[in-house]
Amino acid sequence: MPTTVPAYGAEAAERLASMADVTATDGALRRFLHGLPGVDAVGLQARAAALGTRSIKTTAKAYAIDLAISMIDLTTLEGADTPGKVRALCAKGVSPDPTDRSVPKVAAICVYSDMVATAKRALAEAGGSEVHVASVATAFPSGRAALAVKLADTREAVAAGADEIDMVIDRGAFLSGRYLQVFEEIRQVKEACRRTDGSGTAAHLKVIFETGELETYDNVRRASWLAMLAGADFIKTSTGKVAVNATPPVTLLMLEAVRDFRDTTGVQVGVKPAGGIRTSKDAIKYLVLVNETLGADWLTPDWFRFGASSLLNDLLMQRQKLSTGRYSGPDYVTVD
């Protein structure tokens, strides 16, 4: 197995270049993606369900709750977002429970690109500049816009200070088999993530598949490899805007793709399930999936994230229950 390098590092590009023959033409890429082993759907679901039955209690639960809080991309992606709401969310991300300073900060605040500057400023004011700002881009959530528009959207967000970019793939192109077009698009968006001010550090790129629209598990595996070959730093399940969002089987499948990709190329890529994860129980199930599939290397906010908004409140209530012994209630967390 080659030595491991992070997807956002300089060496990753060389490693990916060694795979250039499979991404040279549309035909080669299709042959490669369709040559990936098919997914055993029943086995995948059974495995995800079996891992969901693990009992995580007491100290392990306390650790898992704190870890999950530190992995949250606290998200607000509503048409009705206001600067005030984004500021409130930033304050919450920096100190999730104002009555308990031992609660860790969240990993990032996820907003639309026009709110990036607001979020950046609010985080600095709240004393949490280490909390990242993630911006959705590329005509989120549908991804239906011209490439120039998508790239401009991305550059705008990066210029405003976004640390991470969550892009959506063009599902229409993917489902009609134009894989190279999707590949090129991801590559160009990754290019647009570079900072123009010359500071060198590019924004990290998360690629959203919208797995609820990909129809089959085989497509999820293909999309995962496609995005990783194109240079994604993170692969993300969903936008949270469609009926079916992150599910344990789909996430398990993506975790396996990430594992296989590291075994092949040595490049480490992160995973972010998003949408529909609302309870601590769900979050802990996902952490079990990560630990059992990828191991402790991925059990950090650098390599695994939850895209969620209401999950944080449930984690805080569970944390209060563990520390006080009394069941908490929604009166003791903020209303977002």
Partner 1 sequence: MSDDRTERLSVLKTYKLFVGGKFPRSESGRVYEVTDHKGSWLANAPLSSRKDARDAVVAARKAFGGWSGATAYNRGQILYRVAEMLEGRREQFAREVADAEGLGKSKAAAVVDAAVDRWVWYAGWSDKVAQIAGAANPVAGPYFNLSTPEPTGVVAVLAPQESSFLGLVSVIAPAIVTGNTTVVVASERAPLPALSLGEVLATSDLPGGVVNILSGRTAEIAAPLAAHQDVNAIDLAGADPELARTLEEAAADNLKRVVRPQPVDWSADPGTGRLLAFLETKTVWHPMGV
Q: For partner 1, give the closer residue by CB, 309 or 320.
A: 320
Q: For partner 1, give the closer residue by CB, 59 or 324.
A: 324
Q: How far, rounded to the nearest angstrom, does the alpha carbon of residue 129 sit from its chain's CA centroid?
A: 20
Q: For partner 1, give the closer residue by CB, 177 or 330.
A: 330
57 contributes a contact to partner 1 by CB under 8 A = no
**Binding to partner 1 (CB under 8 A): which residues in 283-322?**
320
Contact 206, 233 (CB under 8 A): yes
Residue 13 CA: distances (Å) to CA of 6, 8, 96, 163, 229: 10, 9, 37, 20, 10
Q: Give the H or E element holding residue 260.
A: helix 248-265
Q: Which of 94, 329, 334, 335 binds partner 1 (CB under 8 A)?
A: 329
166 is catalytic: yes
Nearest C-alpha neighbor of 334 from the set 89, 43, 102: 89
61 is catalytic: no
> Of residues 272, 282, 285, 314, which has the active-site annotation?
272
> Of residues 73, 97, 163, 166, which has the active-site annotation?
166
DSSP string, 195-244: -TTS--PPPEEEEE--GGGS-SHHHHHHHHHHHHHHT-SEEE---S-SSS
326 contributes a contact to partner 1 by CB under 8 A = yes
Only one of the segments 57-65, 81-89, 270-278, 328-336 lies at the binding site for partner 1 (rule: CB under 8 A); that segment is 328-336
332 contributes a contact to partner 1 by CB under 8 A = yes
Q: For partner 1, give the closer residue by CB, 63 or 332.
A: 332
328 contributes a contact to partner 1 by CB under 8 A = yes
Q: How far, rounded to the nearest angstrom, does the alpha carbon of residue 158 sit from its chain's CA centroid?
A: 17
As annotated, the active-site residues are 166, 236, 272
Interface residues with partner 1 (CB under 8 A)?
320, 325-332
